[in-house]
Amino acid sequence: MIEPVTQTRLHRAPKIALLYRYTCSMIDLVQKLADLSSLRDREALDFALVKLLVNVVHGELEAVRLLRVVGELGDQRWQNCATLEAGQEVPSRDRVWVDFNTLPNVKDYPDRQTCLMGGEIQREPGSPSLTIFPLGQQGKVEGVLEFQTPVAMDAQSEHLVTNILRIFLNVQGLLDYGEKDSLTELLNRKTFDGAFIKASMHDAHFLEMEQPDRRHARGGSYWLAVLDIDHFKRVNDGFGHLIGDEVLVLIARLMRLSFRFNDQLYRFGGEEFVVLMRCTNANDAQSALERFRLRVEQHDFPQVGHITISIGYAPLMADDTPGAGFDRADKAVYFAKGNGRNQVRSYTELVASGDLVEVVDDSHEADFF
């Protein structure tokens, strides 16, 4: 039996339509959250977050900015990891190898800094209005999420953003767990492949114009260094593995203090570490690695005293595989350990002097992993 059109039914229709729209919006939100949680690339994850928030936050948005803090205490900067402004379809971000000194200082943005230090939402009324959310977990705030809106964000939108951020940070935490060495919290070996490929693709069109010969170094742009602690077995045998682990943790800390925030630092296992960095030329790469070598040599490790480290490095080549790039740097560090240790040796210079023979890998197969 068809229900006759009554006043009650007419009153019910707008509610049904509202419920339908709400249900559709919730289904869409769940689908977008599922898509976000499936991502395993950090840049893609950041971009997905700001795009999602633009679609779900009530009212008009002028901009959403995801910013993280880089640098050491006393000289910290804001790095733009994802920004989506009104009218944009694709988020923008700072380049991976951006010059640290060009980034804005944390203290130049007091509201962001307050959010960072206090870990609570900051609201700056006006036109435009700013709402700033802390980005972090377990009391450790690493950045902020900033909304720029024509009017103040309502409580419902704030609540929604807070819960989406919880999901985002949980996914980020899982990535950290899978990508970082559990002891030193440096990147682990299995993440190296993807980072190497990204470095290979970075500014590829510019590098082609700069260096037409694809078997030459990319204008000295990218360098791979292998670092190996000298006589580390003596530390484990003489002081025990707990002290040995403490040495590894301290080496990782010294690496963070010595290299730039966007240099990629890895522990490959045991006492072997790797640095993927971008430098203007070989002299800059040599200087950076020599500074680290001296820092380790001069450091007083608890109970152990002084230890040293041997380093080999090589430029990345066009069309390199992870295996070929690592192999050149590894040959250089092996030469350093066999010829006195506690030194930095360049693969290129060792080949030029005849101490090493260069073997060109034309297979283009990533056979290292």
Q: What architecture is the 39-179 domain classified under in CATH?
A: 2-Layer Sandwich (3.30)
Give, in words, the CATH class of 187-352: alpha beta
Q: CA-to-CA distance for 344 and 334, rounded, in angstroms? A: 11
| 71-81 burial code (b ≥16 CB/10 A, e <16) | beeeebbbbbb
Q: Minimal CA–CA distance to 157: which of 136, 131, 135?
A: 131
- Let me know: does 198 contact 68? Beta carbons within 8 Å: no
Amino acid (1-letter code) at residue 21: R
CA dihedral 313, 314, 316, 322 (to 10 degrees): -60
pTM here is 0.79
One digit per residue, pLDDT tens: the chain, 369 residues? 445 545 555 455 555 555 545 555 667 777 877 788 887 888 899 999 999 998 887 667 889 999 999 988 888 999 999 999 988 889 999 988 888 999 999 999 999 999 999 999 999 988 789 999 999 877 788 999 999 998 888 898 899 999 999 999 999 888 888 889 999 999 998 888 877 777 666 544 334 434 444 334 444 488 999 999 999 999 999 999 999 999 999 999 999 999 998 899 999 989 999 999 999 899 999 999 999 999 999 999 999 999 999 999 999 887 778 888 899 999 999 999 999 999 999 999 999 999 998 866 554 443 333
Q: Where are the domains of the chain?
A: 1-38, 39-179, 187-352
